[in-house]
Amino acid sequence: MGEWMDGYIARMEALDEEALRGGGQERVDVQHGLGKLTARERIDKLADPGSFKEFGSNVRDPSARFRPTQKPSPCDGVVIGMAEVDGRKIMVYAIDFTVMSGTIGDQGVWKIAELVKMAGQEQLPIFGIIDSAGSRICFKNGSAGLNGIGQLIRNYCLYSGIIPQITMILGPCTGPMAQIATLSDILIMNAETGFLWLGGKIESEDAGTAEFHMTKSGQCDLIAETDEHAIELAKQAFSFIPQNCWEKPTIVPTDDQPDRREEELLNVMPNDPKFTYDMHEIIELIVDDGEFFELKADFAPNFIIGFARFDGIVTGIAASNPDELSGVMEPDSSDKYDKFMMFLDCFNIPLLTLSDTTAYPPGDKWERMGVIRHGAKNLHGYSNLTNTKITVVLRRSYGGSNITMGCAKMGPDFVFGWPTTEFAPTGPDSIVQAIFHKELDVAKEKGNYDEVYNAYLIPLKESFSVLNMSKVYTTFYTVHAVIDPRDTRANIVRSLHASLNKKEPTPQRKRYIKPA
């Protein structure tokens, strides 16, 4: 090697060593003391051993030349590169809190923006690991950083639905980076160290925490106990998702029999419709090996979303939960459903809806919350889905919820109903109360209210039963088959296999306009 090259190699190696040290051992010790891994340790936990190839390691904060006393800024506080997760290629970035508290500088933000663009063009999933105190206040070129944020946001939006976007918040995430996190498809937060906040005054003790964004804002999909747990959750979520919108998820072999009859399904639903049951029990009995990967579990718990497999085929499940608010479709559950079904459609994942709901809640309170427009998002979204859609109605399917959850005329591929299914424009209880209120008032005075009430209710419920409806196959309320509950899994599996090569054309247009 010529002497002229020796100098370049030595300089390159020195820069690489400086990059590996991050903000220095003292800052690393502080990071560990907070219960957090460093940026590089996080990438090492995520990526397959030896698979990470770093980009942009020589970058530094350009404003350093204006501040001779400024601390070193290796990689400008952002580690980016290409890696593999379980043998699948990905792009990944991790903000390094040991470098100036992870503040986002001019070069760091451009690195992430370019990486997202690269991921989109190469059609590779993007993983983000955020641990940042916000935007860096630069002595010079501050506007360049703002332009970089704009480009980063635009790239996230442009490649949304083309490549999966998974983000982990393992420390603070404030200001513009908070918007990046919520633009992601799946957002995971560390319960102990994660903090998400756009800005402004904090008025509650739990503001910005993982619990806050799970239970109140609905922006968090999964809560982790540690950095390692967050990374494991990211890997689990990734296992259900294909590389990009042009591929399908991998079918995973299973020993769980596709036609397994589940006797226990006969015991979950109570005899008296006044009593509730937990839809999770149904889900766990019908999916492969009882494994269900739920998202947003504590946000709008009256509606359940998550991933499972049926005979190895990845399927997204959207289910009303009678155990919470009788499974009503209120605004939060509508928003939860909306994003999930869009995600499934983008990445060619079948949608299974399990319906047992008393419809949308009526009244001034819900109207003020926009129950109509939130529900309209679901109607608009479901109408435009092209992925495989399977509907199973277990008990009640009343009013607008019947349409929202994939009734026959909304274009599902298969619709099944348990023999307990009831279709109606509104619940029979409400009809009895509305039509026979005078008779019920008299019965209350005479002391035989329950007898009179049931005399009206029981025949009405019978008329709503899917087993008693005349011309059931040609009316608005339609099922392809009334099935034995024990055969629910077998019917779903057969339907999924039948739809593996499904194609559903939609009208040609520039784009559609979703309700506000």
CA–CA distances in Å: residue 499 to residues 317, 490, 504: 16, 14, 11
Model confidence band, residue 240 (pLDDT cutoffs 50, 70, 90): very high
CA atoms in the 13 A half-sphere facing the CB of 189? 26
The pLDDT of residue 456: 62
Kindly state the average pLDDT of the residues 36-52.
97
Nearest 10 degrees: Cα torsion 15, 19, 25, 29: 180
Task: Provide the angle, in degrees to the nearest 10, between the axes of the packed helices 437-446 and 449-464.
Answer: 150
Instruction: State the sign of the Cα–Cα–Cα–Cα dihedral 23, 24, 30, 31.
Output: positive
Beta-strand pair 293-295/303-310: antiparallel
Task: Work out the number of other CB atoms within 10 angstroms of the CB of residue 463.
Answer: 13
Beta-strand pair 78-85/88-95: antiparallel
Q: Which two tokens stand for residue 401?
A: 């919820």
| Of 14-18, 126-130, 243-247, 511-515, the least confident | 14-18
Beta-strand pair 195-197/389-398: unpaired
Q: What is the pLDDT of residues 246-256, one digit of tens each?
A: 999 999 999 99
| Of 56-65, 143-152, 473-482, 486-495, the least confident | 473-482
How far apart (Å, rounded) are the C-alpha atoms in residues 32 and 11?
30
Q: Is the pTM of this model over 0.85?
A: yes
The pLDDT of residue 19: 73
The better pLDDT of the pair 26, 62 is held by 26
For residue 189, give the nearest of 497, 21, 109, 197 by alpha carbon. 197
Q: What is the pLDDT of residues 140-181, one digit of tens each?
A: 444 445 678 899 999 999 999 999 999 999 999 998 899 999
Amino acid at 334: S
Task: Work out the number of other CB atoms within 10 angstroms of the CB of residue 389.
Answer: 25
Model confidence band, residue 86 (pLDDT cutoffs 50, 70, 90): very high
pLDDT at 1 over 60: no
Model confidence band, residue 280 (pLDDT cutoffs 50, 70, 90): very high
